[in-house]
Amino acid sequence: MPRYIDVDGLFDTAVAVFAERGYRATTTQEIASRAGVNEATLFRRYGDKATLINTALTQALAKAPFAQLGTTDDVVTDLVALAEAFVDTNRKYGGAVGTLLVEMPRHPELRAVTAAFMPQLLNAVHVIATHQDRGQLTPGDPVQKLVILLSPLMTFGLLARSGAEMFVSEFVPSALVESFLEGHRVRQRP
C-alpha cells in the first residue's frame, strides 16, 4: 500500500461507495480496497466510518459547482449558471446527496454533512433574492422560486439515476430558465 494517500481520490471513492450502497452497507474495508489504501490507515486518520463519510461528503460538496455560485447584473446569466451548476453537481454527487437525505433520519451521525450543503442552498436562494431585490424577478418566497426552478432538474436527475427509460434526452438549462422567467420575471412597463 502507498505511503502517500490521494485524499481526493479516497473521498471520491467513499462518496461513490456511500451513494451505491447506503450508509449501513458501506464498509471501510470496501472503501480502502477501492481506494488502494490500508483500512487501518482510514481508522488512524478518521477514527470511524461516520467521520470518514462526513468528511468525504463535506469536502466533495464544498468543491462542487453548486458551491461556486455568484451573482452578476444579468438575471438570465445567473439563473442559467445556477441551473448548470445544479446539473453538474447532481450528475457527480446527486446519488450521494439523495442517499444522505434518506439515511440521515436513521443515522443521525450523518447530519454533520448538512453543514456542507445548506450554505449552498442558501447561496442559491440568495441569487434569487438578489434579483428580486433588483426588480428583475417577481416578489415572493425566494426558496419557493428556487424549488420551482430546480424541480424539473431534480426530477430528471432522480429518473436518470433510477435507470428508467427517459422520454427526454437532457434538459437544456437556458430553455428551462426561459420557461421559468415566463412566469417569474418582472414585466417592464412600456
Which pTM was predicted? 0.84
Domain containing 22: what range? 7-52
Of the three residues 16, 32, 52, the one that is the final residue of a domain is: 52
**How many angstroms separate the CA atoms of 64 and 48, rounded?**
25
**How many angstroms separate the CA atoms of 169 and 157, rounded?**
12
Same domain, yes or no: 164 and 97:
yes
Judge contact between 8 and 57, C-beta under 8 A: no
Assess if residue 69 is contained within a domain: yes
Q: Model confidence over 90-141: pLDDT tens digits?
A: 888 888 888 888 898 999 999 888 888 788 889 999 999 999 999 999 999 9
Same domain, yes or no: 145 and 113:
yes
Same domain, yes or no: 110 and 74:
yes
Domain count, the chain: 2
Judge contact between 90 and 157, C-beta under 8 A: yes
Percent of the chain with pLDDT over 70: 94
Assess if residue 190 is contained within a domain: no
Does the pLDDT value for residue 3 go beyond 70?
no
CATH number for the domain harbouring residue 76: 1.10.357.10
**How many angstroms separate the CA atoms of 115 and 118, rounded?**
6
Same domain, yes or no: 22 and 112:
no
Same domain, yes or no: 47 and 70:
no
Same domain, yes or no: 71 and 157:
yes
CATH number for the domain harbouring residue 33: 1.10.10.60
Q: Model confidence over 143-162: pLDDT tens digits?
A: 999 999 998 888 877 777 77
Among residues 63, 88, 103, the alpha carbon closest in space to that of 153 is found at: 88
Higher pLDDT, 187 or 122: 122
Same domain, yes or no: 77 and 48:
no
Same domain, yes or no: 172 and 79:
yes
Q: How many Å is the Cα radius of gyration of the chain?
A: 19
Q: Model confidence over 66-78: pLDDT tens digits?
A: 999 999 999 999 9
Euclidean distance between the first and final Cα of the chain, in Å?
70
Same domain, yes or no: 18 and 110:
no
Return the pLDDT at 167: 66
